């Protein structure tokens, strides 16, 4: 256990900024918000060297976010803040975000593309081809929200199969289904994909479920699972503790917490 807690992790699923959802209480919105300083401070308490973030400004509120302004802000923020890297947000309904991505992906601290069919309100089945065609031009890593009706993990598989040079991370291992009662959607999609280019991350609050991480490692292997926290929505040190204490081998923890992410960042 000691050797694992001393491992400096890479968190591939983070955010910063204000959590804005009209149907959520002011107090909860405050709890789930956090600026770049807060994100980095919590990352350091979770012994995390790098947190890859997308700005909440570009995702929330649902259907009314401003990814163009968010991307510009994130580009500046990661440049100014040690410990942060950027996902550039692409919204297929806003062509300008493709131009931004094309420009920002050239920057060393911008490591890939974030998509969010739920917050941006489009079905991935309809927009996936255009998104993957674009990502394939850069052999990009794509992180997506997954688990709701517009973003069902199974709906990504055909695109990932058609564009094997794109690495797809299905966010939120264990989350999903119409009533959010399914735990296995991300895992089943990884298994259904043909080229090994589909992964999932541990950023769901469902990580607290005993057995989930361990089951997923058994099903798809630790090489298909990356560490994510959804900071500042969730408390990064709690997410870290779940992996440190998981009933899997130290080698598997190391792959989840750092090695897999390092491989993706180097390939970039």
Residues at the interface with Zn ion (CB under 5 A): 230
Question: In terms of CB distance, is 118 or 230 closer to Zn ion?
Answer: 230
For Zn ion, the closer of residues 52 and 252 by Cβ is: 52
Cβ 233 to Zn ion, closest distance in Å?
A: 7
Measure the CA–CA gap between 157 and 188, rounded to whole angstroms: 10
Which is closer to Zn ion, CB of 4 or CB of 24?
A: 24
Distances (CA, A) of 3 to 7, 194, 238, 250: 7, 35, 18, 8
Half-sphere exposure of 146 (CA within 13 A, CB side): 34
- Comparison of 88 and 252: residue with beta carbon closer to Zn ion: 88
Q: How far is CA 187 from CA 105, 148, 200, 208, in A?
A: 28, 15, 8, 17
Decide if 156 contacts 124 (C-beta within 8 A): yes
Helix 67-80 and helix 96-104, axial crossing angle in degrees, nearest 10 = 20
Nearer to Zn ion, 89 or 212 (CB): 89
Query: Of 229, 225, 149, which is closest to residue 187 (Cα–Cα)?
Result: 225
């Amino acid at each position: 256990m000691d050797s694992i807690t001393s491992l400096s992790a890479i968190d591939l699923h983070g955010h910063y900024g204000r959590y804005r959802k009209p149907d959520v209480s002011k107090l909860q919105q405050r709890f789930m918000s956090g600026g770049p300083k807060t994100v980095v401070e919590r990352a350091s308490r979770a012994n995390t060297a790098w947190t890859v973030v997308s700005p909440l400004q570009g995702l929330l509120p649902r259907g009314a976010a401003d990814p163009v302004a968010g991307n510009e802000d994130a580009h500046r923020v990661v440049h100014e803040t040690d410990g942060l890297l950027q996902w550039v947000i692409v919204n297929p309904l806003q062509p300008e975000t493709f131009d931004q991505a094309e420009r920002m992906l050239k920057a060393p601290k911008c490591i890939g593309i974030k998509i969010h069919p739920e917050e941006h309100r489009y079905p991935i089945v309809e927009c996936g081809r255009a998104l993957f065609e674009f990502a394939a031009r850069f052999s990009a890593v794509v992180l997506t929200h997954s688990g709701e009706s517009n973003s069902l993990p199974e709906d990504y598989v055909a695109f990932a199969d058609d564009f094997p040079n794109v690495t797809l991370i299905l966010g939120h291992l264990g989350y999903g289904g119409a009533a959010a009662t399914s735990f296995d959607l991300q895992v089943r999609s990884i298994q259904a994909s043909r080229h090994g280019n589909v992964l999932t991350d541990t950023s769901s609050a469902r990580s607290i479920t005993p057995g989930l991480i361990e089951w997923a490692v058994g099903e798809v292997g630790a090489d298909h699972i990356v560490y994510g926290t959804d900071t500042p929505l969730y408390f990064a040190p709690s997410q870290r503790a779940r992996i440190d204490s998981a009933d899997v081998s130290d080698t598997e923890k190391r792959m989840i917490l750092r090695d897999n992410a390092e491989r993706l960042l180097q390939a970039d």
